[in-house]
Amino acid sequence: MLRENGSKDAWTESSAAETGDFVNVLRRQGMLREEEYPQGRLPVPETQGTTILAFKFADGVLVAGDRRATAGNIVMYDRTDKVFEVDRHSVMAIAGSFGTAWETARTLQHSFQFYRRSQLQEMSLEGKVRALAKLLRDNLGMVLQGVGVVVPLFATYDTASSDPAKVFFYDAMGAHFEATDFAASGSGGPAVRSILYYENAWGPRPLRQLDQKGAITVALRALDTAAEADTATGGVDRLGKIFPIVKILNEAGVTTVPHDELAALFQTGASA
């Protein structure tokens, strides 16, 4: 609105600058109370899962994960299952936001099942790997907000391949890479990778030459060592008799190693 002298009305000028933003009007008048938060978001307490590993050995692929779930400095649960069977020859291990990771694993499981029943055949290896990558990319919006980050491992036994044991690791945006011998993820991942590298390069035998008992022993030692430096990793709870989840993939399918066998092998390894 113009006055008779040609100047703009003060109220009209102010409202034009505000462009109808009511929240901005309240902010300028000091009537809106705001808190500052990191990354411009409200703090959301997330339950996180760590640490996971996978490596190839003489009889197939071993995938393992500790049992601890944390929210900040709080231990939420010490009997968490972080290794999921998604089909008869495939396993997904999860690290990161537990709620998002759990939903991702279940969605992947149903996707494989739907494909198998609708196409009357198994999904190809490339299809399985990319299906998980797509789920991670679809979660990118949450990642950019600082919540819901998932960095999984995917292992499968591809019976159609001359080298059937396969291990893949991912980043939070869905980029995927095939591991030559081993992979690890989660907050204890760096320690686990160092241990597996040492065992593979300088141990009595390379990882691929280990039998099942030897492979399980190495996995238990790696997770227990990682727990010494990382409070988010449960390792082996000797007092509570809680052991990691360990699954074996081979031509016969996926097998979960029983608790009693884990306890016996860990005790033998500790006294060796």
**Active site residue ranges:** 50
Residue 84, both tokens: 């999921």
Residues ≥6 apart with Cβ < 8 Å to 216: 62, 246, 257, 261, 262, 265
CB–CB of 55/215 below 8 Å?
A: yes
Q: What is the dihedral of CA 214, 220, 223, 228, to 10 degrees?
A: -120
The closest of 135, 115, 133 to 124, measured between CA atoms, is 115
What is the helix (H) or strand (E) element at residue 218, kind and residue range? helix 212-229
The closest of 188, 107, 105, 101 to 151, measured between CA atoms, is 101
Residue 139, both tokens: 């979660």
DSSP one-letter code for 148: -
| Residue 148 backbone class (left: φ over 0; alpha: ψ -120 to 50; beta: rest) | left
Residue 96, both tokens: 């990161």
